[in-house]
C-alpha cells in the first residue's frame, strides 16, 4: 500500500525530478581533462547539497584527484550501499553534437521524451534514479528508507585512480551488506537486467620514437625509420587472421562459457544482426566462431581507442615524424591477470621494435573481470521487484563494459554487488548526442523504490 | 672588375640585407592553413613593394588560392626566370620551438651566425639571396642585370594548386630561356651543387569508416570493426619484408641508376653513417641492398606523414571510433606516372578493406620526377660561378625532395631549370627551430651575382 503511494508520488513529481537532473547535467564534470577539475568539484558540491537537503549526513571527501561524495542514513534493516559516478566522458568530436552537450534539453524520441546531454545516461541520470527514489520515499514515509550509504565517485571515466586507496582508508564506513550499482542498461531496451558478469579493463598508452626530430620526407623518406609505420605494424600484428590476440599468454585464465550459461544466453533472443545493423555493420569482427554476444560478454578484446602522429591538420605536410602514439585497451574476462597482461604486452611490443626505435609506455587503469554470487537472496528479491515494475521477467546477464567498482567492492570490502541500470543501447554513451529516455529515468526511480521496499 | 665591386657591395650591405629578410620572416605565411590566408597576401604585398622599389615592374597576381608575384626587368641578354616561394610550412609542434617561429633572431651557430625562424631557409632566405644580388648589382651598375623575370609562388608548401593553371594562362609572359630555382641545398654543407635529378610527389589522404558512429569499446569491443585496426593493417601491408612497396605496378618506370652515375655518387664521399646519426638513427630503413643516398635520390618511397583517429587527448577514453585517417605520400622517380599510381594505390587499399568498411580518398599534389638537360652550356657556366664562390668544385646531384616546379617549367613552358640553393642539412626545414646560416645567405647572394655575371 505504502509502496503504491511512493510510486504515485514518483509519478506526480517527475517534472521536478527531471529539472533537478538537468541542473546536474549542466555541470561539465569531465574527469579525464584537467581543465574541468573545478566543474567536477562543483558537481560533488551539488550532490552533497541535494543529499543534505534530503536528510542524509552527506559530505564531500577529498582525494588526490576528484572528490568522493559519501552520505549515510542510519535506519533499520540490511545496510545497503548505492554507488554511482558524477563524472562524464569528454565530448569530442564536438562538431558531431547537435547542441551544446552541457545544455540539456527534453526532446522527442522513439520511445517518448528523452533528455539529451553528456552524462544524461552515463551516469548522472542513472545515479539520480536512486536519489529521487529516496526523495519520494521520504515524502511519503517522513523518513529515508532503511539503512543506506550513498557513494558517488568523480573519476570513473578516467580510471578511478583514487578509488582503491579511498575504499581501503574508509573500509569500515563503506562496508555494507550488499552494494547496488546503477551504471548498466536494460537488456534489449525493454527487459530489466541484473549484470552478474563484467569484463575487466587494462589501458595502455604507447609512444614509438624513431628519428630524434621530425624530418622532411623528401630529404629522409625511404632511408629513415618512420614511427607511424612501426606503430601500424605493431597494431596490425596484435590480432591473428582468426581475430585472436597475439600477446603471449593472453588467453591464460580465459574460461570457456559453461554450456548452461550459453544456453541461457541463447534464450535471451538477442538479435545479433540488429545489434550490428544499428551501428552500420553487418559482420562480427572478433574471433571466428563466436557470436557477438559471446564476444562482448565473455571474450577478451584488444582495441585501439586512439592513434596519432605526424601532421593531422588541414592540407598536407611532407613530414616524417619522430614519434607516433596510440591508446590501446584490453577487455578482460575470467581469471585474466591485468598486471601480467600489461607486462606481456609491453614485452611483446618491445620484441616487435625494429632497430633505432624505442617505445615508452604509460599505464592507465588495470582491473580484473568480475563474477557475482547470485546465491544471495537479495538477487532474487531485486529480480522480482524489477519484473514487477517492467512487466517482463528480469534476466541475469553479462556486460561487455568494465565496471571495476564491482570487483573492488568484493576484493576490498568483501561484499557482493547488484548491477542494475536502465540505460538503452541507443543512449550513445561515450558518443556525441548522448541521451537518456525519460522512461528510463521514470521507471528507474520506480524500480529503486520497489527494490528498496523488497530489501530494506 | 665590376663583378668584384658588386661582391664588395654585397659584403658591405649584408646587415641591411639581413634586416630585410627578417622583415619578411615576421609574416606567418603558412599556406596550408586557411587561418593564415591574410598573412600570405601580406607576404606577397611585401615582395611586390620591395621589387618595385628596385625598379622591377612587379605585381601581385590573384589566383583562386594565394597570389603569385611576378616581376620583370627587360634588359639585354638571355631571358632568365628566377623562382622561389614565399609561403612556409606549418610550425607544429609549437612546443618544440625554442622561440616564436615568426620572431626571427640572429643567433650563434656551429658555422658562425644564423637566422632562426620558420621559412629562414625554406624558402624566404633562399628567395631573398636573388633579390639582394639584384639590389647590389643595381647599386653598382645603376641598372638591374640582364633580362629578368622573377616568379614567386605562395602555395609551394600546400601542393601548388594554382600553379599549373597560372603558368598556362601566362605562358607567354613567363617563358624564358632558362629557369633558376632557389629551393635546394649545398652538398654536405660546403660543396655547392646543382640539382639535376628530382623526385616527384603524390599525396593521398584517406579516411576509413566502419561503425556509423563512435562506440563504447565495452559495449561493442570485440564484435565491431575498428577502423584504426583496419587502417593500421593497410599501412603495415604497404611495404614488404624487403622494404619494397606493395602497390601493384608501383615500380613501373623506375630506372636502375646508370653505372656511371652510381660511380659519380660514390665519389661524392657522402657519409651515410653521419647522415643517419645526425637524426638519431643507425640503420637505413628502406629497401634492402640500397645505400641511403640511392634511397633518397633515386628510389621511390611510400611514407605516412600523419595518422589520427579515436581519442587523442589527455587521459583515456574507451571509444571504438567510427573513423580513422592517414596522410600518405609517395616520392616518385624516373618515369613513374603519379596518376596511374594514385589509381593503383586506391584500388589496392579498396582490395584490403574488410566487410563493413569504406574508404574515402582525397588527393593532394601529384607531380612526376624531373631530370635536367645539363647539355645546355648555362649549366657549366653556373657550375663555374659556384665553384669560384665556394672554393670547392660544384657538383651535379640528385634531390630526395620534390620540387614540382622544375617539371612544370619543362612540360608547360618548355624550358630547363637550374636548381641552385644554399640550404644545409641541419637547417631543420619543415621542423621546429628552422634556421638559415648567415653564411648561406651571404655567399648565396654572392653566388647569384657571379651566376648573373656569367649568364646575363
What are the residue boundaries of the structural domains of chain A, listed by start?
A: 2-198+370-455, 200-254+300-367
| Whether residue A401 has pLDDT greater than 90 | no
In angstroms, the separation between the Cα of residue A245 and the nearest Cα of chain B is 10
- Considering only CA atoms, give the Rg of chain A: 23
pLDDT of residue B260: 66
How do strand A68-73 and strand A57-61 relate by DSSP bridges?
A: antiparallel
Burial of A269 (0-12, 13-18, 19+ CB in 10 A): exposed
Average pLDDT of the segment spanning A139-158: 95
In angstroms, the separation between the Cα of residue B298 and the nearest Cα of chain A is 10
Instruction: For an interface test with B, give the residue of A220, A324, A333 to mutate (most B CBs within 10 A).
Output: A220
Residues with Cβ within 8 Å of residue A315, at least 6 apart in sequence: B31, B32, B33, B158, B159, B364
Give the model confidence (pLDDT) of B5-59 as tens digits.
999 999 999 999 999 999 999 999 999 999 999 999 999 999 999 999 999 999 9
Among A231, A296, A320, select the one facing B303 at the smallest CB separation.
A320
Q: Which residues of A touch B280 (CB under 8 A)?
A: 210-213, 322, 356
Q: What is the mean pLDDT of chain A?
A: 93
Tell me which architecture the domain covering B200-258+282-367 has in CATH.
Answer: 2-Layer Sandwich (3.30)
Burial of B27 (0-12, 13-18, 19+ CB in 10 A): buried
Among B32, B309, B430, select the one facing A216 at the smallest CB separation.
B430
- Report the alpha-carbon distance of residue A132 to residue A21 in Å, rounded: 10
Asked if B341 contacts B250 with a C-beta cutoff of 8 angstroms, the reply is yes
pLDDT of residue B321: 96
Judge: B203–A318 Cβ closer than 8 Å, yes or no: yes
Residues with Cβ within 8 Å of residue A352, at least 6 apart in sequence: A233, A234, A237
Please give the model's pTM, rounded to 2 decimal places: 0.72
Judge: B319–A329 Cβ closer than 8 Å, yes or no: no
Confidence of residue A436 (pLDDT cuts 50, 70, 90): very high
Burial of A289 (0-12, 13-18, 19+ CB in 10 A): exposed
β-sheet bridge partners, residue A332: A200
- Report the alpha-carbon distance of residue B396 to residue A334 in Å, rounded: 67
Q: Which of A237, A222, A84 is nearest to A155 (CA)?
A: A84
pLDDT of residue B1: 52
Instruction: For an interface test with B, give the residue of A318, A329, A356, A401 to mutate (most B CBs within 10 A).
Output: A318
Give the model confidence (pLDDT) of A385-399 as tens digits.
999 999 988 888 888
H or E element that contains A351: helix A338-352
Average pLDDT of the segment spanning B331-354: 96
Residues with Cβ within 8 Å of residue A421, at least 6 apart in sequence: A126, A181, A182, A183, A184, A185, A186, A195, A444
pLDDT of residue A324: 98
Asked if A323 contacts A209 with a C-beta cutoff of 8 angstroms, the reply is yes
Give the model confidence (pLDDT) of A238-297 as tens digits.
999 999 999 999 999 998 877 767 777 777 778 889 989 999 999 999 898 898 888 888
pLDDT of residue A9: 97
H or E element that contains B425: none
Q: What percent of chain A has pLDDT over 70?
A: 99
Residue with cell 637547417: B427
What the block records as the C-alpha cell of A62 is: 577529498
In angstroms, the separation between the Cα of residue A308 and the nearest Cα of chain B is 4
- What's the Cα-to-Cα distance from B2 to each of B79, B130, B138, B247, rounded to whole Å? 21, 18, 11, 57
Kindly give the interhelix angle for A14-25 and A2-12, rounded to the nearest 10 degrees.
Answer: 60
Confidence of residue A316 (pLDDT cuts 50, 70, 90): confident
Among B211, B223, B276, select the one facing A284 at the smallest CB separation.
B223
Fold (topology level) of A2-198+370-455: Aminopeptidase (3.40.630)
Confidence of residue A233 (pLDDT cuts 50, 70, 90): very high
Average pLDDT of the segment spanning B150-154: 98
In angstroms, the separation between the Cα of residue A418 and the nearest Cα of chain B is 19
Average pLDDT of the segment spanning B108-129: 97
Judge: B236–A239 Cβ closer than 8 Å, yes or no: no
Which residue in chain A is spatially nearest to B33 when comparing CA positions? A314
Judge: B280–A221 Cβ closer than 8 Å, yes or no: no
Judge: B222–A296 Cβ closer than 8 Å, yes or no: yes
Asked if B350 contacts B361 with a C-beta cutoff of 8 angstroms, the reply is no
State the DSSP code for B324: E
3-class secondary structure per residue, B78-129: CEEEEEEECCECCCCCHHHCCCCCCCCEEEEECCEEEEECCCCCCCHHHHHH
Q: What is the mean pLDDT of chain B?
A: 93
Q: What percent of chain B has pLDDT over 70?
A: 99
Asked if A229 contacts B236 with a C-beta cutoff of 8 angstroms, the reply is yes
ipTM over the 0.85 cut-off: no
Confidence of residue B293 (pLDDT cuts 50, 70, 90): confident
Q: Which residues of A touch B33 (CB under 8 A)?
A: 313-315
| Whether residue A1 has pLDDT greater than 70 | no
Instruction: For an interface test with B, give the residue of A224, A237, A356 to mutate (most B CBs within 10 A).
Output: A224
In angstroms, the separation between the Cα of residue B353 and the nearest Cα of chain A is 12
CA A449 to chain centre: 23
Among B32, B285, B321, select the one facing A317 at the smallest CB separation.
B32
Question: Which of residues A247 and B397 earns the better pLDDT score?
Answer: A247
What the block records as the C-alpha cell of A403 is: 565496471
Judge: A222–B309 Cβ closer than 8 Å, yes or no: no
Asked if A327 contacts A223 with a C-beta cutoff of 8 angstroms, the reply is no
In angstroms, the separation between the Cα of residue B1 and the nearest Cα of chain A is 39
Q: Which residues of A touch B287 (CB under 8 A)?
A: 222
Fold (topology level) of A200-254+300-367: Alpha-Beta Plaits (3.30.70)
CATH 2.140.10.10 assigned to domain B2-198+369-455? The reply is no
> What DSSP assignment string belongs to B131-163?
HHHHHHHHHHHSS--SEEEEEEES-GGGT-TTH
In angstroms, the separation between the Cα of residue A243 and the nearest Cα of chain B is 9
| Cis before B93 (ω within 30) | yes
pLDDT of residue A385: 97
| Whether residue B143 has pLDDT greater than 90 | yes
Q: Which residues of A touch B187 (CB under 8 A)?
A: none
Judge: A223–B276 Cβ closer than 8 Å, yes or no: yes
Give the model confidence (pLDDT) of B167-210 as tens digits.
999 999 999 999 999 999 998 788 899 998 888 899 999 999 99
Q: Which residues of B touch A321 (CB under 8 A)?
A: 305-306
Among B232, B280, B402, select the one facing A236 at the smallest CB separation.
B232
Asked if A129 contacts A448 with a C-beta cutoff of 8 angstroms, the reply is yes
SS3 content of chain B, % helix, strand, coil (to 5): 40, 25, 40
β-sheet bridge partners, residue B88: B30
- CB-CB neighbours of B100 under 10 Å: 15
| Cis before A420 (ω within 30) | no
Amino acid at each position: 500500500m505504502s509502496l503504491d503511494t511512493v510510486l504515485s508520488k514518483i509519478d506526480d513529481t517527475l517534472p521536478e525530478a527531471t529539472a533537478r537532473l538537468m541542473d546536474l547535467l549542466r555541470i561539465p564534470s569531465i574527469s579525464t581533462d584537467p581543465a574541468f577539475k573545478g566543474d567536477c568539484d562543483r558537481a560533488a558540491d551539488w550532490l552533497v547539497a541535494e543529499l543534505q537537503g534530503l536528510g542524509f549526513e552527506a559530505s564531500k571527501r577529498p582525494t588526490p584527484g576528484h572528490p568522493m561524495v559519501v552520505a549515510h542514513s542510519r535506519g533499520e534493516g540490511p545496510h545497503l550501499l548505492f554507488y554511482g559516478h558524477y563524472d562524464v566522458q569528454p565530448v569530442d568530436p564536438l562538431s558531431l553534437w547537435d547542441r551544446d552537450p552541457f545544455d540539456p534539453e527534453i526532446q522527442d524520441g522513439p520511445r517518448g521524451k528523452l533528455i539529451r546531454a553528456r552524462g544524461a545516461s552515463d551516469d548522472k541520470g542513472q545515479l539520480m534514479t536512486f536519489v529521487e527514489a529516496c526523495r519520494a520515499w521520504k515524502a511519503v514515509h517522513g523518513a529515508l528508507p532503511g539503512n543506506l550509504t550513498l557513494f558517488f565517485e568523480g573519476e570513473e571515466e578516467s580510471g578511478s585512480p583514487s578509488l582503491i586507496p579511498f575504499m581501503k582508508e574508509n573500509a569500515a564506513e563503506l562496508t555494507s551488506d550488499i552494494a547496488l550499482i546503477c551504471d548498466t542498461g536494460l537488456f534489449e531496451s525493454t527487459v530489466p537486467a541484473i549484470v552478474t558478469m563484467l569484463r575487466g579493463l587494462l589501458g595502455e598508452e604507447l609512444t614509438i620514437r624513431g628519428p630524434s626530430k621530425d624530418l622532411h620526407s623528401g630529404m629522409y623518406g625511404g632511408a629513415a625509420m618512420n614511427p607511424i609505420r612501426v606503430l601500424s605494424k605493431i597494431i596490425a600484428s596484435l590480432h591473428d587472421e582468426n581475430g585472436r590476440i597475439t600477446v603471449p599468454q593472453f588467453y591464460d585464465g580465459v574460461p570457456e562459457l559453461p554450456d548452461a550459461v550459453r544456453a541461457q544466453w541463447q534464450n535471451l533472443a538477442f538479435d545479433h544482426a540488429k545489434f550490428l545493423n544499428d551501428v552500420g555493420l553487418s559482420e562480427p569482427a572478433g574471433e571466428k566462431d563466436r557470436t557477438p554476444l559471446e564476444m562482448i560478454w565473455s571474450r577478451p578484446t584488444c582495441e585501439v581507442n586512439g592513434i596519432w602522429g605526424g601532421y593531422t591538420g588541414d592540407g598536407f605536410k611532407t613530414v616524417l615524424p619522430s614519434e607516433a602514439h596510440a591508446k590501446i585497451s584490453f577487455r578482460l574476462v575470467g581469471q585474466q591477470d591485468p598486471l601480467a597482461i600489461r607486462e606481456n604486452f609491453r614485452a611483446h611490443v618491445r620484441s616487435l621494435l625494429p632497430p633505432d626505435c624505442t617505445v615508452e609506455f604509460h599505464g592507465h587503469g588495470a582491473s580484473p573481470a568480475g563474477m557475482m554470487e547470485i546465491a544471495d537472496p537479495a538477487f532474487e528479491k531485486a529480480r522480482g521487484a524489477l519484473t514487477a515494475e517492467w512487466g517482463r521477467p528480469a534476466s541475469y546477464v553479462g556486460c561487455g563494459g568494465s565496471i571495476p567498482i564491482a570487483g573492488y567492492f568484493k576484493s576490498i570490502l568483501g561484499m557482493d554487488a547488484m548491477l542494475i541500470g536502465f540505460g538503452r543501447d541507443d543512449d550513445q554513451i561515450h558518443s556525441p548526442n548522448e541521451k537518456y529516455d525519460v522512461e528510463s529515468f521514470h521507471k528507474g526511480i520506480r524500480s529503486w523504490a520497489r527494490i528498496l521496499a523488497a530489501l530494506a
